[in-house]
Chain A
Amino acid sequence: MDNESLKTKIAQWVPNAEFEETGTSKAQLLNVIITPDKLLDVAYKLRNEEDMKFDFMFSLTCVDFPEHFMMVYHLRSTQTWNEVVLKVKMEDKEKPQVETLCHIWRTAEYHEREVYDLFGIVFKNHPDLRRILLDEEWEGYPLRKDYVDPVNMISL
């Protein structure tokens, strides 16, 4: 399934989804940007729809933009080796929240813990949302752009 037909299909599910293509001119990835409330639905369909079957989540991360947080899910189908990037835009910078996807892709459970640890994004219904890399007592979320650690960080 090429990017165009994927686009039309997803546009049917989520009319207000934004699309963009990123990557190099040789390898274009379709990016689907949706709002947090649509995530679970879209993710479930991407995983299980017959001609998509994006069954392998190979990367899950977050980007801290000045105005919003962006969750980035890289998905791949192990049968066709198609790839799609699912993005969730979170306008709420104070209390970013998004549904967990660990029931759809098991690997998400630990990547989400990492994102929670480093970005402070709360995953609703996550079975075990704890810090994974840092101490339980750590204050702040280091990968946020506004994070300052006067003791340990050397600013360049």
Chain B
Amino acid sequence: MTEEVETKDAIKTQEYFVNMGPQHPSTHGVLRLMLELDGEIIKRVIPHIGYIHRSIEKMSEKDSYRQIVHLTDRMDYLSNHMNNEAVCLLVENALEVEVSDRVKVIRTIMSELTRLSSHQLWWGVMGMDLGALTTFLYAFRDREMINDIFEETCGARLTVNYNVPGGVMFDIHPNFQKRVKDFIKHFKTKLPEYDRLLSDNVIFRQRTEGVGILSKEDAISYGVTGPTGRASGFSNDTRKHKPYSAYDRVEFKEILMDKGDTFSRYKSRILEMWESISIIEQLIDNIPEGEIQSPAVKQVIKLPAGEYYQSVETARGELGVYVVSDGQKSPYRLKFRSPGFSNLFVLDHMVRGYKIADLVAMMSTIDLVIPDIDR
């Protein structure tokens, strides 16, 4: 297991293994990393996953499509709405059902709110991983407002389950528009505060700039999507390239960076929050009228035999749903291409030669959600 390295003075040093996780404060869940260390310098990282593998793919083979939507909440619980949306879009596209404009706009606003709340949590945790404990509660202060909006409209704060194939479960709450606007107004003053507290801090800059560089080629080869990949210059925003819901009627920039270091990954998410705010602002005042559930989608959904692939942009990257249908009420095979799974395994490539503290920073900027990886 260990390899002996002979130094100049013939003092023998030995590399050693440290188990980081499955219970560790900065793996944010039950992820286990085996670190091969030389002093504090990391030689290799071997990720061990599967601690909360719940075989969602196998369960889906027995469930109806309406039930599968509920399982997806439990994958990437911070991008719950987008996960729901992915399955619903797939079913709608397979059935060739067009949902009303109202549903499209509501879905887009909700997705962006989910993205904001996910990035807020990420920001708080990122600061905490670097030792700035205060960020966490700042982030939660703002995230609470989004959760309240969700609670009012969907009845749930985390596993919202708002989408159903063919539309959304209920119409939006009468307060929805007002509260979203209040939140946007509030958050626009707080987002610069995030920058003042963390982004412009000297220690933070030193810890993140030029650390953990991921080149564009590697990002593509490793299939790193989402803000993590875009920080390396890999244009992969599904919202831009294959627009779904109402993303074709709003204007937003795809945040692309070129450095690919930890700071770029950090900055790309901060900038993405501004884009999300702009998307919500464009849509919130003109939610068109329309039915909230398409009558064309029947209670028991049977997809025509064939194969379907639908991808959405979650807060972590591209979530793909691949369904092989044999015409029955449950899929023959269903595969979730989860962004976290691909993103996690680039860690070993990125982290070699850096220190433990850098690993923690890089892990934060990859923004891992373990249930998303394990499924």
- The interface stretch among B17-25, B111-119, B261-269, B334-342 is B334-342
B333 contacts which of A31, A58, A64, A142 (Cβ < 8 Å)?
A64
**11 more A-B residue pairs beyond the given contacts A55-B220, A110-B342, with a C-beta to C-beta distance below 8 A:** A22-B306, A29-B309, A58-B318, A58-B337, A63-B324, A74-B337, A106-B221, A107-B221, A109-B345, A133-B49, A133-B53
**What's the Cα separation between A100 and B55 when bound, in Å?**
24
**What's the Cα separation between A31 and B322 when bound, in Å?**
14
Does A40 have its Cβ within 8 Å of any Cβ on chain B?
no
Within the complex, the shortest CB–CB distance from B107 to chain A, in Å, comes to: 18
- Docked-complex contact B320 and A59, CB < 8 angstroms: yes
Majority SS at the chain B contact face: mixed
Tally the A-B contacts, defined by beta carbons under 8 Å.
90
Does A72 have its Cβ within 8 Å of any Cβ on chain B?
yes
- A26: B residues at CB distance < 8 A: 93
**What's the Cα separation between A78 and B240 when bound, in Å?**
13
Chain A: number of interface residues, binned into ranges: 35 or more
**What's the Cα separation between A113 and B324 when bound, in Å?**
21
- Docked-complex contact B322 and A74, CB < 8 angstroms: yes
Residue among B55, B96, B235, B332 with the highest chain A CB neighbour number at 10 A: B55
Name the CB-closest residue of B to A144: B58
- A31: B residues at CB distance < 8 A: 307
- B210: A residues at CB distance < 8 A: none
Does B236 have its Cβ within 8 Å of any Cβ on chain A?
yes
B308 contacts which of A23, A111, A156 (Cβ < 8 Å)?
A23
Does A57 have its Cβ within 8 Å of any Cβ on chain B?
yes
Q: A61-B322, A81-B241 are in contact. Are A142 and B58 (CB under 8 A)?
A: yes
Does A24 have its Cβ within 8 Å of any Cβ on chain B?
yes
